[in-house]
């Protein structure tokens, strides 16, 4: 089954404690991205990756890091989480960067930073 998986699905942490949210897709997609979803603001892109070893900032990259060492994986790293990073996070992928109109989303990771 074609899918994007994320782990963990729920996470409660404290300010400053580094965490990683994993994302994996099994569709051999080149393009992957991370979004955060906040009430009234919709989905905002954090980082994206056109292909392996190619990443770039989205609209709200501050406080986040990513890496793309393998095509299927695109982890999101919060080196020093703060309460304003409490949000719902989605990983997404599409076959290429020019085919984002058919983007697949993961199930989401709900993060609470105390």
Partner 1 sequence: QKEVEQDPGPLSVPEGAIVSLNCTYSNSAFQYFMWYRQYSRKGPELLMYTYSSGNKEDGRFTAQVDKSSKYISLFIRDSQPSDSATYLCAMTEPGPKKLSFGAGTTVTVRA
The residues that touch partner 1, with contacts defined as CB under 8 A, are 4, 31, 33, 40-45, 48, 50, 58-59, 90, 92, 96-98, 100-108
Residue closer to partner 1, measured from CB, 4 or 78: 4
Angstrom distance (rounded) from CA 39 to CA 66: 24
Angstrom distance (rounded) from CA 6 to CA 21: 7
Residue closer to partner 1, measured from CB, 20 or 98: 98
CB of 113 to partner 1, least distance (A): 19
Closest to 88 measured CA to CA, from 37, 44, 45: 37
Which residue's structure tokens are 């949000």?
A: 87
CB of 107 to partner 1, least distance (A): 5
Which residue's structure tokens are 């999101």?
A: 76
CB of 48 to partner 1, least distance (A): 7
């Amino acid at each position: 089954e074609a899918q994007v998986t994320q782990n963990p699905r729920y996470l409660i942490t404290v300010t400053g404690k580094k965490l990683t949210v994993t994302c994996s897709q099994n569709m051999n997609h080149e393009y992957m991205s991370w979004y955060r979803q906040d009430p009234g603001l919709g989905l905002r892109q954090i980082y994206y990756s056109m292909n392996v070893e190619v990443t770039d900032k989205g609209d709200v990259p501050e406080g986040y890091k990513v890496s793309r060492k393998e095509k299927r994986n695109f982890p999101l790293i919060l080196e020093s989480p703060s309460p304003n990073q409490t949000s719902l996070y989605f990983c997404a992928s599409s076959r290429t960067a020019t085919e984002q109109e058919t983007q697949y989303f993961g199930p989401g990771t709900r993060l609470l930073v105390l």
